[in-house]
Structure 1
Amino acid sequence: MADNSKEEFLQLVKRFGAFLTLKVSNLFQRLDSRSFGALAGLAFAIVFTWRILRSPSGPQRRLPKRQATPPSSSGVSHANADSTASIVATSSEDSRAQNVIDEFFQPVKPTLGQIVRQRLSEGRKVTCRLLGVILEETCPEELQKQATVRSSVLEVLLEITKFCDLYLMERVLDDESEKKVLLALEDAGIFTSGGLVKDKVLFCSTENGRTSFVRQLEPDWHIDTNPEIITQLARFIKYQLQISPSKPERPTSNVFCSSSLEQFFGCV
């Protein structure tokens, strides 16, 4: 009986080790290089499971002593009962071990900040037009009446300002439109994060003026809704994002397309 229990325990350790190796391999395939929290969880899980394996209260359970019984025909029944109990105990230990591993090796969900950095390929300077991207309005004529910041884009925009040098720009028809835009951005709290200041909100009177702004700033990314500007800048800007409800085909390999800024970062 002692030899059988030892053999069963060794088999459990082997199965547990194989299972742990598979989980570790899958985890490292999913890990982001900055997921230090996940690595800490991995180390904790390894120590925890090692203690389970070496603990006296682990798979080797001490069975209560039974009084010796004279040999009889019921000996076979007792042997079968012991075998069944051993199988059930082994299965229970396997299940508990698997639950421990599953708990510590859950997929690590990246934060929005990590997603933004990954999608922008670690770009450090971004230029972005306002109409149709940050604002609800889509043409300069609408800005003469009002300017409304899209609430769904705020979280992404603030994450971008945390690690990127962000410039917002737009064509306007008069000074009043400029004031309305700046007031709307201020009311939305965009200037309170510290990553964007009013001096980095640029205005011009023509579409070509926006193109000139981008060329002078030489950003890593430019975000726009005008396909003509996207095409003109494709040779000069490393990456571009075209915002369009129709999701047009990519004109070049360095131009990405999305129905909205937040959709590009998986926020909708």
Structure 2
Amino acid sequence: MADNSKEEFLNLIKRVGAFLTVKISNLLRDLDSRSIGAIAGLALAVFFTWRLLTLPSGTQRRQHKSSAGATSSGSSTCTTADVTCSKVSTSSEYSGSQNAVKELFQPVKPTLGKIVRKRLNRGRKVTCQLLGVILEESSPEELQKQATVRPSVLEVLLEITKCCDLYLMERVLDDESEKKVLVALEDAGVFTSGGLVKDKVLFCGTENGRTSFVRQLEPDWHIDTNPEIVTQLARFIKYQLHISAIKPEGSASNIFTTTSLENFFGLV
């Protein structure tokens, strides 16, 4: 009686599988946006149907072989260990199929490049201050001693150079500071990606000089730590990213505030 019930169940599963196959064929012939969700659900049902059709039959074949071996040796007794082993094997395979389905329908994590393009709203030109954003140093006086590229910002910086025309700029006190900055950027590999060249690293002697650079270049985005410069440029630049620990009150709607460049792109 148990064998007949199993056969009837398998026949029912086969009929359901055939029905689902016909449904999928009909949907594929008349595909529209509303059919996509139905196809995904049917595909999942077909997958489970296939597992139900294959797993029991495989288990039955192993049981038949075990019974045949026992009969040929003159023994007709099925031990508890054999039954337990069969159940564990079936459970393991079923668990594996569940994990495969979960992985199949798991959302794909976007790459950093896609995140950068989305956050910049597909802007094509970006200007960015060096001190406090790209460099560890925060004043021109510190640049007279050394220039250090922040390791955490490097990955984002390279992605920006791939999709945008990037210009870096800073106020310096002497020519030696310029050399230190260029050497630090070169050692960090900023110029090897092909998106940024030394000619696009600009230096000036005053904060107003940086403002003038930005207005002449007319970027889609400007990134700066100076709240006065950000405020002055709000009327002329489409978007600005203000790097600051505190968001100023009354900021324009086109000014975004974040603690670091990498934080803006979700790396922190």
Q: TM-score, normalised by structure 2?
A: 0.69
Aligned mate of 2:50, from 27, 48, 53: 53
Residues 230 and 95 from structure 1, CA distance in 2 versus in 1: closer, same or farther, beyond 3 angstroms?
Answer: same
Alignment of 1:137-156 (within 5 A): 137-156=137-156
Q: Name the SS for the 1:190 alignment partner.
A: coil
Residue equivalent to 1:232 = 232
Residue equivalent to 1:184 = 184
The letter of the residue matching 1:182 is L
Write the distance in 1 (CA, Å) between the matches of 2:107 and 2:227: 39
Q: Name the SS for the 1:99 alignment partner.
A: helix
Residues 54 and 99 from structure 1, CA distance in 2 versus in 1: closer, same or farther, beyond 3 angstroms?
Answer: closer
Deviation at 1:173?
1.5
Residue equivalent to 1:131 = 131
Deviation at 1:223?
0.3
Alignment of 1:1-268 (within 5 A): 46=43, 50=47, 53=50, 56-58=53-55, 97-249=97-249, 251-268=251-268
Asked if the contact 2:13–2:53 (Cα under 8 Å) also holds between the matched residues in 1, the reply is no
The letter of the residue matching 1:103 is E
Deviation at 1:99?
3.0
Asked if the contact 2:13–2:49 (Cα under 8 Å) also holds between the matched residues in 1, the reply is no
Write the distance in 2 (CA, Å) between the matches of 1:233 and 1:6: 77
Deviation at 1:171?
0.9
Residues 232 and 52 from structure 1, CA distance in 2 versus in 1: closer, same or farther, beyond 3 angstroms?
Answer: same
Q: Name the SS for the 2:166 alignment partner.
A: strand
Deviation at 1:133?
0.4
Residues 6 and 215 from structure 1, CA distance in 2 versus in 1: closer, same or farther, beyond 3 angstroms?
Answer: farther
Write the distance in 2 (CA, Å) between the matches of 1:156 and 1:138: 19
Q: Name the SS for the 1:156 alignment partner.
A: helix
Residue equivalent to 1:27 = none
Deviation at 1:119?
1.1
Deviations 1:51-86 (A, max 9, x none): 96288525677696x9xxxxxxxxxxxxxxxxxxxx
Write the distance in 1 (CA, Å) between the matches of 2:183 and 2:240: 27
Write the distance in 1 (CA, Å) between the matches of 2:7 and 2:235: 70
Q: Name the SS for the 1:192 alignment partner.
A: coil
Deviation at 1:214?
0.8
State the Cα RMSD in Å.
Answer: 3.5
Write the distance in 1 (CA, Å) between the matches of 2:150 and 2:168: 14
Residues 225 and 55 from structure 1, CA distance in 2 versus in 1: closer, same or farther, beyond 3 angstroms?
Answer: same
The letter of the residue matching 2:142 is E
Q: Name the SS for the 1:191 alignment partner.
A: coil
Q: Name the SS for the 1:166 alignment partner.
A: strand
Write the distance in 2 (CA, Å) between the matches of 1:91 and 1:147: 60
Write the distance in 1 (CA, Å) between the matches of 2:47 and 2:172: 66
Asked if the contact 1:52–1:58 (Cα under 8 Å) also holds between the matched residues in 2, the reply is no
The letter of the residue matching 2:167 is Y
Residue equivalent to 1:20 = none
Q: Name the SS for the 1:202 alignment partner.
A: strand
Q: Name the SS for the 2:54 alignment partner.
A: coil
Q: Name the SS for the 1:118 alignment partner.
A: helix
Write the distance in 1 (CA, Å) between the matches of 2:170 and 2:91: 66
Asked if the contact 1:247–1:259 (Cα under 8 Å) also holds between the matched residues in 2, the reply is no
* Number of equivalenced pairs: 218
Q: Name the SS for the 1:167 alignment partner.
A: strand
Give the gaps of 5 or more residues in structure 1.
18-41, 67-89
Q: Name the SS for the 2:149 alignment partner.
A: coil
